[in-house]
Amino acid sequence: MNKNNLEALVDVRVKEAKLLLDHKCYEGAYYLLGYALECAIKACIARQVKEHDFPDKNLANACYTHKLGDLLGVAGLKQKLLEKEKNDEDFKLNWGVAKDWSEDIRYEHTIEETMAKDFFEAIMDNKSGILVWIKSWW
């Protein structure tokens, strides 16, 4: 999996999530939206790795998580996140919606419409969306 593959996967997962939302399949939509964010952050991490360089073991190990906040740290975006939150209240609220996503949601069957749609808006908002912001660091 390389940076380009991860970027393409982001778009695929968002498209799938939107289809699921439109068909009232909120659990699957929520789950895939989180994976879209995870892939986006991992694309930022992949940008740090130079072709033919032997990977740093600590960096490689740190990438094997699904925790969005931890991945932002590995990507070097934690301070930038704090700055963005300080300057954009809507972004701060959107991160509040997105930050607690977990891959364990795959076992959840009670995601309601509001939760899934709020998550979609939090990451896709053109001005203060989390995904839009992450893409600016690709």
Work out the mean pLDDT of the chain and round it to a whole number. Answer: 93
Measured N-to-C along each axis, helices 3-22 and 113-124 cross at an angle, to the nearest 10 degrees, of: 140
According to the model, what pLDDT value does residue 58 have? 82
**Joined tokens for residue 59:** 């960096």
**Residue ranges per structural domain of the chain:** 3-135
Q: Are 27 and 109 in contact (CB under 8 A)?
A: yes
pTM here is 0.91
49 vs 27, residue with greater confidence: 27
Q: Phi and psi of 52, rounded to 5°?
A: 75, 0
| Cα 72 to Cα 2: distance, rounded to the nearest angstrom | 18
Can you tell me the distance from the alpha carbon of 69 to that of 13, in angstroms, rounded to the nearest whole number?
Answer: 20
Query: Taking 80 as the threshold, does the pLDDT of residue 56 lie above it?
Result: no
Residue 52 pLDDT level (bands cut at 50, 70, 90): low
